[in-house]
């Protein structure tokens, strides 16, 4: 089996007495969607913050493409090939949709140190940005101010900005949140095709999407991974049912 | 609402029309007022890079204004007394050449901005305001105790410095020089705001975590903005000293830092012509109201209050609404 793209080993993070992340070891392999599920407050967002570099772990390590990035900052990890999306959209609201996407393209090219020629005149940046917008279905809204977008469109733009980075791994925190049935269905289809470009670590509440998409599922409860397996295995697991899925799952 | 471009053109035309009219009417004092507005606008355009584009509320920009002023004062002082500076065994002659003075002002305020920025940008919000204020006070008291250059009394320079091919003592020629530098600064601001750097800086102001997740360092972006900003304000300081032929520690005062912020807010934060509109209004009010009452600052304060409460975007916002991000 080839080396995983991303690995966490015994990650630990406490907030005061609360163990938000408790010995989490998992990996993300080429071509897969690995879903993380768990009840609210289980530590999913914290885990994503640890992986993306927004939070430093108390112990444990994060390896990206064979490189130990545990002590690298968020920006360095992004440059190393990590593309994350936020649970709560983090977009430049005053800027246009296109400008937000161009920002991503600029980060990917690592060249913000140009002070004279307008960013939107750069054909290369624009092409990357417009391509990403087209793929998530925002091509027609490129000129809109981000603040004018609907909630669902903001979620789409979150994904588009990550796309502009052409990352080696996607880390997505509840991309379907608040999308509605139709939006979720569309995004599910899109993520399905995206996994061949780069694997996706997917935190998601929408169980239909998770079971439709995930190659593997890890269940997080009180900061600990209580089970990892295929959709069928997780569905069948007694422990998972008791802890999380309930009777109807 | 009128397009911002139209307002900008109108403001620039008015800015040049006033001194032209004053020249015809032989009113040199009005030309001097216009020059004062141009220099304050240059200083405030500098601040507008940090404050408007980068969201950095610096209550220490008088540092750079003062450094620019003292760069002029010290160099011209040594030139007019024919005594070279003693710098660690080297002797450096003073100069009356404006281009040389400007260069020194730009470099010195740039270095100061790197140091102040590196330390201040470790904080944000109110702490950033406080730490820049504290640095400002340090420079202020240093200037007061710097006996060699006049201490509290400041330094008088008897003759305005030289610019090749111009008679700088002629008010309209000196106005032309200052106005040209202001227009260059406005051009720089305009291009900067739309450049890749400006786009990233604007995002760093709004959502720093986003900037990081695309692989850029928001603090480094803000530092570069702070340095560019400080240099522009420093250049204005050198011109201001030349306008008055006088430098004193008040150029370093926190009140001046506050006034710069007021100018920018009055005109419109982050808007191209905000600083010029703010400076024009400020100088006009100061002159008109200052003649009528000693309490003109109170009236200015009231106007500012109205602007902040009812027109969040300053004068530009009042006429043109919100900025078009990609205009
Ligand atoms: N910065 C923080 N400081 C203190 N507690 C936090 C912090 N971030 C998260 N927590 C706590 O850690 C737990 C896990 O939160 P989170 O990772 O957001 O869970 P999830 O995303 O699974 O809903 C929660 O109990 C939350 O209150
Ligand atoms: Mg969460």
- Residues shown for chain B: 327
Report CA(A48)–ligand 1 centroid distance (Å).
11
Q: Which ligand is nearest to the CA of A174?
A: 2
How many whole angstroms separate alpha carbon A206 and alpha carbon A178?
10
> Encoding tokens for residue A179?
């999308």
How many whole angstroms separate alpha carbon B158 and alpha carbon A87?
64
Q: Whose CA is nearest to atom 14 of ligand 1?
A: A43
| Closest CB from B198, B203, B215 relative to A108 | B215
Q: Which ligand is nearest to the CA of A43?
A: 1
Name the residue in chain A with its Cα closest to that of B201.
Answer: A112
Give the DSSP H or E segment for B113: helix B98-120
* Average model confidence (pLDDT) across chain B: 95
Long-range contacts from B83-91, C-beta under 8 angstroms, 24+ separation: none
Which letter does DSSP use for residue A176 in this model?
T
Q: What is the pLDDT of residue B324?
A: 81
B123: CB partners within 8 A, 6+ apart:
B131
Q: Could you give the 3-state DSSP secondary structure of residue B173?
A: helix
Tell me the nearest-neighbour CA distance from A171 into chain B, angstroms.
Answer: 11
Fold of A1-81+167-249: Rossmann fold (3.40.50)
Chain-chain contact of B195 with A116 (C-beta, under 8 angstroms): yes
Q: Could you give the 3-state DSSP secondary structure of residue B81?
A: coil
Give ∠ CA A9-A14-A17 in degrees, rounded to 5. Answer: 145
A33-37/A200-203 β-pairing: parallel
Backbone angles phi, psi at A22, to 5 degrees: -125, 100
Q: What is the pLDDT of residue B327?
A: 67
Interface of A with B in 153-182 (CB under 8 A): 161, 164-165
Q: Which residues of A touch B217 (CB under 8 A)?
A: 73, 75
Instruction: Identify which of A14, A17, A20 to mutate to test ligand 1's pocket (most ligand atoms within 8 A of the CB).
Output: A20
C-alpha distances in angstroms, B48 versus A81, B95, B96? 35, 31, 30
Number of CB atoms found within 10 A of residue B174's CB: 23
Predicted complex ipTM: 0.93
CB distance B237 to B43 below 8 Å: yes
How many whole angstroms separate alpha carbon B132 and alpha carbon B129?
5
Long-range contacts from B74-79, C-beta under 8 angstroms, 24+ separation: B74/B149, B74/B155, B75/B100, B75/B101, B75/B104, B76/B101, B76/B157, B76/B161, B77/B149, B77/B155, B77/B157
> Encoding tokens for residue A156?
């789409």
> Encoding tokens for residue B321?
């609404």
Which positions of chain A have pLDDT values less than 70? Answer: 1, 244-249
How many whole angstroms separate alpha carbon A182 and alpha carbon A153?
12
A–B interface: beta-carbon pairs under 8 A: 119
Backbone angles phi, psi at B172, to 5 degrees: -70, -30
CB distance A10 to A24 below 8 Å: yes
Q: Which residues of B touch A107 (CB under 8 A)?
A: 211, 214-216
Q: What is the pLDDT of residue A248?
A: 46
Q: What is the pLDDT of residue A249?
A: 41
Chain-chain contact of A118 with B211 (C-beta, under 8 angstroms): no
Atom of ligand 1 at shortest distance to CA of A55? Answer: 1
A43 within ligand 1 shell (Cβ under 6 A): yes
A15 within ligand 1 shell (Cβ under 6 A): yes
pLDDT tens by residue, B5-17: 999 999 999 999 9
CB distance A64 to A80 below 8 Å: yes
* A232 reaches B (C-beta below 8 A): no
Q: Which ligand is nearest to the CA of A16?
A: 1
Which positions of chain B have pLDDT values less than 70? Answer: 327
Chain-chain contact of A94 with B217 (C-beta, under 8 angstroms): no
Report CA(A19)–ligand 1 centroid distance (Å).
9
Identify which of B50, B210, B225 has the alpha carbon closest to the alpha carbon of residue A99: B210
Q: At what angle do helices B254-267 and B274-292 cross, to 10 degrees?
A: 110
Q: What is the pLDDT of residue A246?
A: 56
A133 within ligand 1 shell (Cβ under 6 A): no
Q: Which residues of B touch A54 (CB under 8 A)?
A: 209, 212
DSSP string, B200-266: HHHHHHH-HHHHHHTT--HHHHHHHHHHHHHHHHHHHHHHHHHHHTEE-GGGG-HHHHHHHHHHHHH
Q: Could you give the 3-state DSSP secondary structure of residue B293?
A: coil
Question: What are the residue ranges spanned by the domains of chain A?
Answer: 1-81+167-249, 91-165
C-alpha distances in angstroms, A102 versus A119, A127, A163? 8, 9, 11
Give the DSSP H or E segment for A129: helix A123-136
Report CA(A47)–ligand 2 centroid distance (Å).
9
How many whole angstroms separate alpha carbon A92 and alpha carbon B117?
24
Atom of ligand 1 at shortest distance to CA of A47? Answer: 17
Identify which of A147, A117, A137 has the alpha carbon closest to the alpha carbon of residue B324: A147
Tell me the nearest-neighbour CA distance from B164 into chain A, angstroms.
Answer: 29
Interface of B with A in 169-198 (CB under 8 A): 191-192, 194-198
pLDDT tens by residue, A175-186: 998 888 888 999
* A217 reaches B (C-beta below 8 A): no
CB distance B171 to B242 below 8 Å: no
């Amino acid at each position: 089996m080839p080396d995983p793209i991303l690995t966490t080993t015994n990650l630990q993070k406490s907030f005061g007495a609360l163990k938000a992340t408790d010995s989490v070891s998992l990996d993300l392999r080429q071509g897969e969607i690995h879903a993380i599920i768990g009840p609210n407050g289980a530590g999913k967002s914290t885990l994503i913050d640890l992986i993306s570099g927004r939070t430093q772990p108390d112990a444990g390590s994060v390896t990206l493409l064979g490189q130990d990035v545990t002590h690298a900052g968020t920006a360095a990890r992004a440059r190393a090939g990590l593309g994350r999306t936020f649970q709560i959209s983090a977009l430049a609201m005053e800027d246009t949709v296109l400008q937000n996407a161009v920002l991503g393209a600029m980060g990917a090219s690592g060249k913000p140190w140009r002070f004279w020629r307008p960013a939107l005149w750069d054909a290369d940046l624009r092409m990357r940005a417009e391509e990403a917008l087209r793929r998530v279905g925002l091509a027609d809204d490129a000129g809109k101010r981000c603040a004018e977008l609907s909630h669902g469109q903001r979620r789409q733009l979150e994904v588009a900005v990550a796309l502009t980075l052409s990352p080696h791994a996607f880390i997505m925190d509840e991309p379907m949140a608040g999308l509605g049935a139709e939006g979720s269905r569309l995004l599910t289809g899109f993520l399905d095709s995206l996994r061949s470009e780069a694997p996706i670590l997917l935190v998601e509440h929408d169980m239909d999407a998770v079971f439709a998409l995930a190659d593997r599922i890890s269940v997080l409860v009180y900061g600990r991974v209580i089970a990892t397996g295929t959709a069928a295995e997780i569905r069948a697991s007694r422990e998972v049912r008791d802890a999380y899925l309930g009777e109807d799952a | 609402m009128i397009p911002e471009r139209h307002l900008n053109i109108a403001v620039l035309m008015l800015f040049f029309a006033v001194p032209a009219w004053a020249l015809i009417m032989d009113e040199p004092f009005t030309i001097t007022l216009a020059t004062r507005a141009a220099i304050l606008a240059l200083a405030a355009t500098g601040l507008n890079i940090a404050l408007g584009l980068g969201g950095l509320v610096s209550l220490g920009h008088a540092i750079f204004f003062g450094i620019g002023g003292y760069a002029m004062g010290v160099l011209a002082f040594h030139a007019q007394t024919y005594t070279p500076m003693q710098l660690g065994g080297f002797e450096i002659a003073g100069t009356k050449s404006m281009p040389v003075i400007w260069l020194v002002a730009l470099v010195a305020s740039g270095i100061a901005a790197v140091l102040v920025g590196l330390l201040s940008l470790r904080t944000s919000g109110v702490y950033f305001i406080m730490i820049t204020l504290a640095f400002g006070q340090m420079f202020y008291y240093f200037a007061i105790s710097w006996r060699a250059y006049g201490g509290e009394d400041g330094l008088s320079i008897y003759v305005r410095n030289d610019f090749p091919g111009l008679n700088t003592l002629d008010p309209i020629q000196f106005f032309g020089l200052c106005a040209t530098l202001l227009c260059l600064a406005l051009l720089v601001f305009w291009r900067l705001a739309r450049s890749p750097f400006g786009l990233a800086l604007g995002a760093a102001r709004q959502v720093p975590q986003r900037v990081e997740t695309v692989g850029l360092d928001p603090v480094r972006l803000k530092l570069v903005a702070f340095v560019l900003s400080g240099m522009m304000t420093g250049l204005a300081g050198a011109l201001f000293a030349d306008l008055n032929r006088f430098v004193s520690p008040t150029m370093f005062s926190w009140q001046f830092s506050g006034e710069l912020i007021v100018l920018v807010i009055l005109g419109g934060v982050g808007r191209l012509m905000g600083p010029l509109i703010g400076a024009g209004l400020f100088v006009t009010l100061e002159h008109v109201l200052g003649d009528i009452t000693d309490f003109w600052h109170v009236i200015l304060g009231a106007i500012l209050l109205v602007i902040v409460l009812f027109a969040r975007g300053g004068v530009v916002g009042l006429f043109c609404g919100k900025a078009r991000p990609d205009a």
